[in-house]
Amino acid sequence: MSNFDQLLSVDRIFAIYNHSVAALHGVSLSVRTGEVRALLGANGAGKTTTLRAIANLLGAQRGSVTSGRIVFDGLDVLKMPPSTLVQAGLASVLEGRHVFKSLNVEENLIVGGLARGSRRSELSADLERIYALFPSLLPKRKIAAGLTSGGEQQMVAIGRALMSRPRLLILDEPSMGLAPIVVKGIFETLRALNRNDGLTILMAEQNAAIALRYADQATVIENGTDVLSDTADALRRGDYVKEFYLGSNVSTGIKREAGPQQPSAVSTSDELQTIAAE
Amino acid sequence: MTNAYDAQQSRGLLPAWGYLLGIGVVAYGIVPLLASDYVYDAILAPFLALSLAAVGLNLLTGYAGQVSLGSAAFMAVGAFAAYNFNLRIDGLPFILSVLFAGLTAAGFGVVFGLPSLRLKGFYLALSTLAAQFFVEWALTKFDWFSNYNSSGVIDAPPIVIFGVPFSGPSGRYYFALTVVLLLSAFAARLVNTQTGRNFIAVRDNETAARIIGVPVFKTKLLAAAVSSFIIGIAGILWAFAYLRTVEPHGFNLDRSFEILFIIIIGGLATLRGAFLGAALIVVLPLVLSRIGTLLLGGYFNSGVLDMSQRILIGALIIVFLIVEPDGLAALWIRARNRFFGALTSRRPAREVTA
Amino acid sequence: MERHRKKTSFLSGLAASLTLFAGALTTSASADEQFFPLQSYRVGPYAAGGTGFFGGTIDYFNLINSRDGGVNGIKLTWDECETQYEVERGVECYERLKSHANIAAWNPLSVGIAYAMIDRITQDKVPLITINHGRTDSTDGRVFPYVFPLLLNPYSETSGIINYIAAKEGGEANLKGKKIVVLYHGSPYGKETIPIYELLSKKLGFTVQQIEVPHPGNEQQAQWLTIRQAKPDYVVLRGWGVMNPVALKTAQKTGFPADHIIGNVWSNSEEDVIPAGDAAVGYTAITTQASGAEYPVLQEIVKTLYDSGKGNLEDKKRIGSVYHNLGIVNGILNVEAVRIAQEKFGKRTLTGDEVRWGFEHLHLDEKRVADLGAKGLFHSINVTWDNHEGDGRVTFQQWDGKKWKVVSDWIAPDWKLLRPIIEKSSEAYAKEKGLKIRSAGDADKVTSIDVKGESTKN
Amino acid sequence: MTNFDPAFFVEVLVGGLLSGVMYALVAIGFVLVYKTSGVFNFAQGAMLLFAALTFVSLVEKGVPFALAFLVTLAVMALLGIAIERTVLRPLVNKPPITLFMATLGLAYVLEGSAQLLWGTQVHGLELGIDDKPFIIHGVLISSFDLFAAAVAAGMVALLAFVFQRTRIGLAFRAVADDQFAALAVGLRLPVIWSAVWIAAGFVALIAGLLWGARLGVQFSLSLVVLKALPVLVLGGFDSIPGAIVGGLLIGATEKLAEVYLGGYVGGGIESWCAYVFALGVLLIRPQGLFGQRLVERA
């Protein structure tokens, strides 16, 4: 693959929280235009931190990238405020959805359009498009988002991100806490967006089974480092994922014990950020 | 708010007793050689009283996580209670008046700590203002507290402990110093016991604390009681060892804010921070005022200088919060580690103990 | 290199500032001057009063220096130390300035600071002047040898106000059946006169209702509605700071006429009425000194100082305002005490204790007041060793929307009635503190040579 | 107290409610800032003083009323932007207590500079409202208080319009609801915070003028925040309706308590009874009257 259709590249980033708690120890990955890449790993492996680093949101969680480089479409991500990245076409759907609970569904979506300064006509066209993607939101458009179901909130969060007309959509655990049927619907929609509109997608998932079913490529993170990158098919067939599923974390277990970094610090950091995010 | 520094307070080059000994030698031996009446009465006396109040508030706010804007009220309770115990119970040794007054303040602390069982954050902080205004009102309103003095002020009784009079600037200094050191040692000990760990557990995560079996309500009230006890005694020092004549209004909201300032500037959840913060809050305005008068006194009147000083102090507070949010104590440790790190290069500059 | 140079310049800067700081700590004094430490406040909630009062005192000192070359050749000097009206700052200022040589007297103009200084100045044997304020019982010089609530203590003020109302009603007999509400500031200062109003109401047969306004007093709806319900004949305003204009505004709002509100001595300044605007027109207040700049002493201050840009007030419109004139009267009393003491001890720099003696013989009759260019500015004063107030007389002034107009003669409070109450209180204080009650003979023992030198008693 | 007089009761009640409007005016300034940035802005009182002092000094220098108002508004806007730049932005993500302390420092700076710029003189401020009381059915009502209430209502209506009908208002609400999500969807928080502080400056100016007309423009103006704090405890830090209803309740309770209960304990209980009342309500309803917990926790 030539370099120019590489939409996002993450090059050996290190990140810490609260000036001291280490979270990432050199993660690298890249996303090419038009692909769906899954980011796999156990709870606390550093998936969320990686995604937040890519959207340059770590600062808001008292974290920071200490070294490494992230480039999105030629932009040095770590030097751009999140609003500029959104304008440039990088939109995030956060872990836990983070809808604006007291705003109604439609207002949530409109806020998503504010960042790129959409005109009124653009806004209404975009809204129509979102309601077409997620028809169940239409009857609830005047209801406070906090009062809708988990699946609907996930749709609101995705719709809100789409309102900024992104080229790269980053999703953090889109399946979390949702019924399998809802999860399926959401992933189908994402696939449609990818196939029909050419939307590039990077998603972190703990549920590797479903992620690998919909992804083209996948990267595995462990203890704050990327350990494996391959096509989704290869990974699905490979030993690694089998181990992962069977829960026989032998290799990872050893790796944790033997790893140069303090494992407890890593898991603490993710707990910390989950607490902070709530 | 979690602080990696408190865990290593005593992990410097010297063991804890070494520091204590050093402080004792300096405070009892060397300071009196250098201090004048001005230093005793205008700098050391308020410094000691405010430090102690900050130690008390730090237990509540820094360790147990409850912000209080009512510290001055507990100082007032301590001062007026000690005055009345001393006045009304014939033959009561002074030291017992002080102790009883501390207990009275602790009782008040428990009563006004009750809302903490249901309120959090700024709601709790503002609810402590009820204590602030109620105490000020009651002490002004009921003449009994000031022994029917028509001016509502109380005068310090002579300080005599076990027959030894502590009079004059240096005598009052020794009295205050001893009280402050004893209570600080007590506080330092407390935060390293199970009780102290319970404080921190409740601060960091109340639900988690309850799950691991910390009696949350009891812990909160205990924190309020111990903190108020110490602050109450700080009030006695303020009234008897420093000003020597106080009126209820002397313990107003500004004083409460001042004490909160001290622990924020000094560093939450470190006892050393209380002293560093108090030093800064007491000394900085004096230095600024003197330098200002000296350099510019000829050109501007004291009002202009003081307003500039006010702006400067406000700006310094903001700058300080931006540059060193963990307070002077963190700065201190960083400086110390850099210093000792250079001396003993093998010692790691700082360990993460999270 | 660069860094090294920086370090050096930083170090030398540090050294320089340390030298300066050390310089600030030491004070120099020359022999032929008399020093007045001024714990002034030009910042904070009460800055307006502070600038006026200290401006007046400094103006008068300046006048004495530039017109007369000092008091009998002894120059007056002073240092200001800003307190913001806060007690601990006042104490710090005391400790800072007390080591200065040749201190004549302290004039903090703050009840709280004055209280905190009583023990200290008594020990240091320097007089503390609390003109028009302070502890009432410090009038008793037998117990408080160094405290001087000159001109008017709170009890005298109360008596003066009631005497004025009696005069307005056509005599004391007509007070019977009248109703007076006292609206007081919720502080020890505000509460101090409660028993005296009760006493006078019993004695003279009027009813009195005393209503508290919580500090700072920026909200008085409830109090004035209660007043409206009570329908009193007069309201006495015992206010402080922002409480005063709010009282006048709220009175207007609830329909109580301003000309039946009588202000006390800390509710009588321009700063109290100007913010109230029209609501203050007709409001009357007690004062110990007239306002206005027509008195000869003020004319001289304007001519000697302000015309050549040496006046202390920034805003010339405030010349002759209530606080400015009080400051000038305060200056006159301080200077005259020094002058009287010099006649006794010699025309030289005096010790604090000698100046105390001067204050205890501060007798300025109307003729002497006129000689000082202050005829009509204040009436007279006669301080003795056991009466530290000096039986000042009061007058009443009414606000016409632009300035104060005197509307009464000089009125004398009922000193005889008040003296036993004062003595009772001061004796209780003496008992509590274990103090010896002074006799006339004790008052004549004066520490003559500076405390730091060898003390001799004559 | 003697026999109960219903007309007097109504009078006290109405007076209390109208005073409550004045408290709410100050409280709204707190709510605006707290809601959108989580900062408990203790400098609101100092901003009030700064705004009123700037305005009155301009008027006294002969600047026409309307122009002085606009100039002051512009000054407050610049101040808002400056505060965002120099204080808030560097302190992003710091604990709430640190931000609170920073606003205390800010209060020092503002009080100091207001007085350095305009002097410590006490000023009168006439808004041209003749405050002669009028009487309806034996109940006395202050015309100034009614005017103040009308101004407050107008201001709240304006704020409500901005919040509900404009993009910046929607952005305000989004930031108030979930700051992290707002950042993630690309809202420019610094811009929004500046806007909020400008709005708080506007509220401070309105409140400063109304309070200034009552108290005179002087240092004590900064103390009116103390009247707003129990309102916040009661109404919630994050609710404008809460600030209004809380203000009315506190005003009425405070006055009724002072008039009818104050007599039993010697009066002057206003300073603390508002807090005790607010606390009592909070202990029964910890979320406050209008706190948004209901939606948040769904």
- Between chain C and chain A, are at least 3 CB pairs below 8 A? no
Q: Touching check for C188 and chain B: CB below 8 Å?
A: yes
Note the pLDDT of residue B123: 83
Residues B23 and A217: their CA atoms lie apart, in Å, by: 64
**Cα D276 to Cα B131, B133, C183, D229, D269, distances in angstroms:** 9, 10, 25, 12, 10
Neighbors of chain D by Cβ distance (3+ pairs < 8 Å): A, B, C
> Taking each helix axis from N to C terminus, what angle separates B16-24 and B168-190, rounded to the nearest 10 degrees?
170
Averaged pLDDT of chain D = 88
Number of domains in chain A: 2
CA–CA dist B202, B191 (Å, integer): 13
Q: Does B150 touch chain C (CB under 8 A)?
A: yes
User: What residues in D contact A98, CB-CB < 8 Å?
Assistant: 178, 180-181, 184
Domain annotation covers residue A262 = no
Name the minimum distance, in Å, from the CA of A140 to any CA of chain D: 16
- Contact check, Cβ <8 Å, B352/A20: yes
Give rounded-to-5 percent helix, strand, coil for chain B: 75, 0, 25
Q: How far does D267 lie from chain B, in Å, by closest CA?
A: 9
Cβ-based neighbours of D61, under 8 Å, separated by 6 or more: none
* A146: nearest CB among D93, D173, D295: D295
Ranges of residues in chain C with a pLDDT under 70 are 1-31, 449-458
Coil, strand or helix: which one is A215?
coil
Question: Most C CBs within 10 Å: which of B146, B151, B237, B284, as the mutation test of the C interface?
Answer: B151
Structure tokens at C328: 């000038």
| CA dist D31 → C347, D41, D164 (Å) | 66, 9, 16
What span, in angstroms and rounded, lies between the C-alpha atoms of A146 and D293?
11
Q: From C37, C20, C312, C43, select the one nearest B295 (Cα to Cα).
A: C20
Residues A71 and A186 both lie in one domain: yes
Which of D5, D131, D215 is the best mutation test for C, with the most CBs of C within 10 A? D215
Both A222 and A149 in one domain: the answer is no
Torsion of CA A255, A260, A265, A271, to 10 degrees: -30
Model pLDDT, residue D286: 67
Considering the domain architecture, whether residues A108 and A150 belong to the same structural domain is answered as yes
In this predicted structure, the answer to whether residue A255 has a pLDDT above a threshold of 70 is: no
CA torsion, ordered C280, C281, C284, C288, to nearest 10 deg: 80
Name which of D272, D289, D286 is nearest D236 in CA terms: D289
| ipTM of this complex | 0.83
CATH class held by domain B4-251: mainly alpha
Q: Which amino acid is at B80?
A: F
Cβ contact B291–C189 (<8 Å):
no
From the list B113, B77, B46, the residue with the least C-alpha distance to B232 is B77
- How many other C-beta atoms lie within 10 A of the C-beta of residue C376? 17
Q: What is the pLDDT of residues B263-302, one digit of tens each?
A: 988 988 898 899 999 998 888 888 888 888 778 766 777 7
Chain C residues closer than 8 Å to D227 by CB = 218-219
Amino acid (one-letter) located at B349: A
CA–CA gap between residue A221 and residue A226 (Å, rounded): 4
| B4 interfaces chain A, CB cutoff of 8 Å | yes
The predicted pLDDT at position D288 comes to: 64
D131 and C249: CB-CB below 8 Å?
yes
d(CA D232, CA A123): 37
**pLDDT for position C145:** 95
Given A118, A136, A163, the domain boundary residue is A163
Q: Could you give the C-alpha distances from B229 to A110, B86, B110, in angstroms and in order?
A: 55, 17, 10
Of C443, C439, C420, residue with least CA distance to C137: C420
Q: What's the 3-state SS for chain C?
A: CHHHHHHHHHHHHHHHHHHHHHHHHCCCCCCCEEEEEECCCCCCCCHHHHHHHHHHHHHHHHHHHHHHCCECCEEEEEEECCCCCCHHHHHHHHHHHCCCCCECCECCCCHHHHHHHHHHHHHHCCCEECCCCCCHHHHECCCCCCEECCCCCHHHHHHHHHHHHHHHCCCHHHHCCCEEEEEEECCHHHHCCHHHHHHHHHHHCCEEEEEEECCCCCCCHHHHHHHHHHCCCEEEEECCCCHHHHHHHHHHHCCCCHHHEEECCCCCCHHHHHHHHHHHCCCEEEECCCCCCCCHHHHHHHHHCHHHCCCCCCCHHHCCCHHHHHHHHHHHHHHHHHHHHHHHHCCCCCCHHHHHHHHCCCEECHHHHHHCCCECCECCEECCCCECCCCCCEEEEEECCCCEEECCCCECCCHHHHHHHHHHHHHHHHHHHCCCCCCHHHHCCCECCCCCCCCCEC
What's the pLDDT score for residue A144? 94
Q: What is the pLDDT of residue C48?
A: 85
- Share of residues in chain A with pLDDT > 90 (%): 68
- Asked if the Cβ–Cβ distance from A21 to B4 is below 8 Å, we say no
- What's the confidence (pLDDT) of residue A278? 33
Residues A174 and A202 in one domain: yes
A36 and A66 inside one domain: yes
A contacts of D179 (beta carbons < 8 Å): 60
Residue A265 forms contact with B (CB below 8 Å)? yes
Q: What are phi and psi of A220, to 5 degrees?
A: -105, 135
Q: Are residues A66 and A111 in the same domain?
A: no
Q: Cα(D167)–Cα(A151) distance, rounded to whole angstroms?
A: 27
For C153, the token pair is: 């203590």
Q: What is the token pair recorded at A101?
A: 């609970």
Distance CA D51, CA D63 (A): 15
Give the residue with greater pLDDT, A43 vs B96.
B96
Q: Which residues of chain D have pLDDT under 50?
A: 1, 292-298
The answer to whether the Cβ–Cβ distance between B317 and D272 falls below 8 Å is no
For C233-269, what is each residue's pLDDT tens digit?
999 999 988 899 999 999 998 999 999 999 999 999 9
Residues of B in contact with D102 (CB under 8 A): 317-318, 321-322
> Are D177 and A100 within 8 A, CB to CB?
yes
Query: CA torsion angle for C391, C392, C394, C399 (degrees, to 10)?
Result: -150
Distances (CA, A) of D126 to D52, D68, D205, D222: 12, 14, 15, 19
Residues in chain D: 298
Mean pLDDT of chain C: 89
Residues of D in Cβ contact (< 8 Å) with A156: none
Q: How far, in Å, CA of C61 to CA of C76, rounded?
A: 6
Smallest CA–CA distance, residue B144 to chain A, in Å, is 51
Least CB-CB distance to D40: which of B122, B134, B307? B122
We report the CATH number of the domain holding residue A46 as 3.40.50.300
Taking CA C40 as the corner, what is the angle to CA C141 and CA C81, rounded to the nearest 5 degrees? Answer: 105
Residues 257 to 286 of B: which have CB under 8 A from any C CB? 286
At residue A19, the pLDDT reads 77
Segments in chain B below pLDDT 50: 1-12, 346-354
Angstroms from C102 CA to nearest CA on chain D = 32
A52-63 tens-digit pLDDT: 999 999 988 888
In this structure, the dihedral spanned by the alpha carbons of residues C90, C96, C97 and C100, taken in order and rounded to 10 degrees, is 170
Range A230-240 average pLDDT: 83
Q: Which residue of D lies nearest to B305 if distances are taken between CA atoms?
A: D116
CA distance B325 to B264: 8
Q: Which domain holds residue A159?
A: 100-163
Q: Are C406 and C285 in contact (CB under 8 A)?
A: no
Q: What does the block give as tokens for D122?
A: 């006490």
> Does A19 fall in a domain?
yes
Best CA proximity match to B156, nearest among C115, C192, C130: C115
Please compute, for residue B90, the number of CA atoms within 13 A of its CA located in the half-sphere on the CB side: 0
Beta-carbon count within 10 A of D213 CB: 24
Instruction: Report chain A residues whose CB lies below 8 A from the CB of D174.
Output: 100, 103, 107-108, 111
From A213, A234, A255, give the residue that closes a domain: A234
Query: Is residue A273 a part of any domain in this protein?
Result: no
pLDDT at A121 over 50: yes
- Give the nearest partner residue to B247 out of C80, C98, C112, using CB atoms: C112
| Count of C-beta atoms within a 10 Å radius of residue C3 | 7
Query: Mind listing the domains of chain C with CATH numbers?
Result: 12-152+291-382+421-457 (3.40.50.2300), 170-287+396-410 (3.40.50.2300)
Which helix (H) or strand (E) segment holds residue A31: the answer is strand A21-32
CB-defined contacts C:D, below 8 A: 121
Chain D residues whose CB is inside 8 A of the A62 CB are 93
Nearest to D233 by CA among D220, D218, D222, D247: D247
Co-location of A14 and A121 in the same domain: no
Q: Cβ contacts of residue A165 below 8 Å, gap of 6+?
A: A89, A116, A126
* Nearest CA distance, C327 vs chain D (angstrom): 17
Characterize the bridge pairing of strands A217-222 and A36-40. Answer: parallel
With beta carbons less than 8 A apart as the criterion, state whether D215 and D61 touch: no
Give the span between the Cα atoms of C160 and A55, in whole angstroms. Answer: 77
Whole-angstrom Cα distance, residue B113 to residue B107? 10
Residue A91 phi, psi (nearest 5): -115, 145
Instruction: Indicate yes or no: pTM above 0.90.
Output: no
Element (H, E) at A90: strand A90-93
The first and second tokens of residue B112, run together, are 């006004």
- Choosing from A108, A128, A163, the residue where a domain stops is A163
Backbone angles phi, psi at C214, to 5 degrees: -65, 145
* Distance from the C134 Cα atom to the nearest Cα atom in chain B, whole angstroms: 8
Nearest CA in chain D to C43: D120
